[in-house]
A and B are shown apart, each in its own frame.
Chain A
């Protein structure tokens, strides 16, 4: 089956630093990837839609300058949390859509900002 990986699985950083999270589709090409954020014991909230070769589309209320998304190839999208603060601590999950429009989710990245 389709596999999506995320790296790193866990990251701890100091306040003010930037953190990059990678999302890869391992055995299929994904022109579209999605980035979600999940707070403890809450549901997933869509942050942005990442399209290969074009600018990401951000959901209302998501700061595009803080959460930089790059989808440089058909198998890789990256989310960079810039100038991270403790309130950015969360579980970030990506999904990748295949050519049959099915979405496959990555295992998530736990970000802790000290």
Chain B
């Protein structure tokens, strides 16, 4: 079985500060890992994904994440937060076997203060 743990249901940063959203996964098979962003009353938008190629993955809107197998982590970072980054962020895992079932973490709400 696969699972995802997102540490911190709420993260608050100042505009221009570093954004760090934590995600740890559990998987008995090599995983695919994803970060999605959700704005209020909207669906999910894919920020980036890890599919066993480069361990440092660059996504949209200046976000990136690093896959660390030894730490079973896939933390999301952005060097400088913008007000528009305020949203809910979900980390998700699926197996590489092709089922494509996504298992989501509980989400982290990011607040950006002016």
Contact = CB atoms under 8 A, between A and B. Distances in A.
A14 to B, nearest CB: 23
A103 B104 contact: no
Contact of A43 (B42, B43, B101, B105): B105
Contact of B42 (A32, A95, A108): A108
A107 B101 CA distance: 19
Contacts of A49: 101
A103 to B, nearest CB: 7
Interface residues of A, number: 23
A93 B44 contact: yes
B114 interface: no
Nearest to A9: B41
Nearest to B99: A49
A104 B46 CA distance: 8
A93 B100 CA distance: 16
Nearest to B105: A43
Interface string A21-36: 0000000000010100
Interface string B37-55: 0000111111000000000
10 contacts: A4-B43, A42-B106, A43-B104, A43-B107, A95-B44, A97-B100, A104-B46, A107-B42, A108-B41, A110-B41
Interface of B: 36, 41-46, 90, 98, 100-107
